[in-house]
Structure 1
Amino acid sequence: MIVTIGGIKGGVGKSLISTNLTVMRALGGFKVLLVDGDEQGTSGDWTDHRIGLGLNTPWTTVRLKAAAVRTEVLKLSNNYDDIIIDCGGRDTVSLRAALTVSDVFLVPFQPKSFDIWTASKVADLVADAKILNPKLSAYCFINCGGTRGNDNEIAMQILGKAEGLSLLTTAIASRKAFSNATSEGMGIIEVKKDEKAINEMQALHDAIFGENETPYGHNKTVKMTSKLGHRDNAMA
């Protein structure tokens, strides 16, 4: 399956999601390619940091931009079970190129007005992408959410009305455990110090790749509006 994590608003944790999903898939025995398509290079820098720490890194990371995202991913797609593309928080050539070859477009939103207001522009981007890639499925979810109050629920109600985007009703909270794991060159699943954080990321993983393919045995069930396809029929 080819999954692009992106959007048109920066600072919503796209690289956090990209790197954590990469770790989960790779440690689960899948052959994974992580594509850093963001000019900031966060995912690539994180992989370099992890390698420098001497940690097992059972995936391949490449840095691509602009039209090369499409051409190189097409060349490499048959060599991997999953390709995860981390694109920046802007409407760029790299993002549009990624969407032409992706099965899934995953868009994180913070539960804040400035972020939620971009949903209609993201929907327009999805509509443009589907002209060239009709099989593209686009999903949104709350990332960097609150742990108290009802901000997450209010934001989800608004996102649920956005045309062209299906809402996943799992939310990933803003937790120190995520930043701590990142600084240690790890995914949250490897640290195992915050069960809530692990369950949230596991729920997102399950929503995308299917509960039957989860390698870690967590029993947290995610309620979602749509079930995504499995990797065995997504690369057609």
Structure 2
Amino acid sequence: MIVALLNQKGGVGKTTLATHLAAELARPGHRVLLIDADPQGSALDWSVQRDRGGLPRLFAMTGLARETLHREVPELARGYQHVVIDGPPRVTGLVRSALLAADLVLIPVQPSPYDAWASAELLRLLEDARDWKPGLEARFVLNRCIARTLLLRDARRELAGTLPPALATTVGQRVVFARCARTGRLAAEEAPGSLAAREMVALAAEVLGTAR
């Protein structure tokens, strides 16, 4: 399965979700490749911090911020059960290529009307990609949520019944994720048993469920 995390709006938490999703998909012993397709290289920076901390490599990683991504991924994916693509903001050619490479597109959005509006262009690109890949699946992911707020309630209501649909799993706005970005750790390593760690386990399980 090839999963691309895409949204042309920056700051929605794509890299945090991508690194944690790759780790959770790898936990059953699967070989997983994370492709950093963002020219900013945030996932690669996270990996460098992990290496400096002497932490084990749970999955393979490479940088590939090129518009030929969709042509190169099939070769790169050989020998891996899952591939996760951390996509770029605002680079339309790269986003198109990532869409064509993917089996499933996850669209992280914060519970804000501004994020929903910013996703409109990506949804247009998604429909264009389906002309070439009719079976391409997509899901919204509510990320950086603050529990029991009106914004979260309203966002869930607005996404109910949308196309693409939203995953049932939501991920909170949590300090542990900021620490993970600085240290190259995962929520399960920074705060074992925490709600943040459990959310990522649930996210990976639901993502796997879409492929069945």
Looking at structure 2, the residues matched to 58 and 170 of structure 1 have their Cα atoms a distance apart, in angstroms, of 23
Residue equivalent to 1:170: 169
SS in 1 for 2:78: helix
Runs of 4+ off more than 6 Å: none
Paired AA for residue 57 in structure 1: R
Residue equivalent to 1:229: 211
SS in 1 for 2:89: coil
Looking at structure 2, the residues matched to 51 and 91 of structure 1 have their Cα atoms a distance apart, in angstroms, of 29
Deviations 1:124-155 (Å, cap 9, x if unpaired)?
12101111111210000210011232311211
1:1-236 to structure 2, matched below 5 A, reads: 1-163=1-163, 165-193=164-192, 195-210=194-209, 228-230=210-212
The TM-score with structure 1 as length reference comes to 0.84
Q: Which moved more, 1:147-156 or 1:165-174?
A: 147-156
**2:9 touches 2:115 (CA, 8 Å); kept in 1?**
yes
Looking at structure 1, the residues matched to 147 and 19 of structure 2 have their Cα atoms a distance apart, in angstroms, of 22
**2:171 touches 2:199 (CA, 8 Å); kept in 1?**
yes
**1:152 touches 1:171 (CA, 8 Å); kept in 2?**
no
Looking at structure 2, the residues matched to 100 and 208 of structure 1 have their Cα atoms a distance apart, in angstroms, of 18
**1:5 touches 1:18 (CA, 8 Å); kept in 2?**
yes
Give the aligned length.
212
Paired AA for residue 55 in structure 1: L
Looking at structure 2, the residues matched to 9 and 64 of structure 1 have their Cα atoms a distance apart, in angstroms, of 20
**2:71 touches 2:101 (CA, 8 Å); kept in 1?**
no
Kindly indicate whether structure 1 or structure 2 has the higher relative contact order, using CA contacts under 8 Å at least 6 residues apart.
Answer: 2
Looking at structure 2, the residues matched to 33 and 193 of structure 1 have their Cα atoms a distance apart, in angstroms, of 24
Deviations 1:13-55 (Å, cap 9, x if unpaired)?
0000001111222233110111000011000111111112111
Q: Which runs of 5+ in 1 are unaligned?
A: 211-227, 231-236
The TM-score with structure 2 as length reference comes to 0.93
RMSD: 1.6
Paired AA for residue 167 in structure 1: A
**1:101 touches 1:133 (CA, 8 Å); kept in 2?**
no
Looking at structure 1, the residues matched to 33 and 12 of structure 2 have their Cα atoms a distance apart, in angstroms, of 22
Looking at structure 2, the residues matched to 178 and 64 of structure 1 have their Cα atoms a distance apart, in angstroms, of 24
**1:116 touches 1:159 (CA, 8 Å); kept in 2?**
no
Q: Which moved more, 1:200-209 or 1:22-31?
A: 22-31
Residue equivalent to 1:221: none
**1:110 touches 1:142 (CA, 8 Å); kept in 2?**
yes
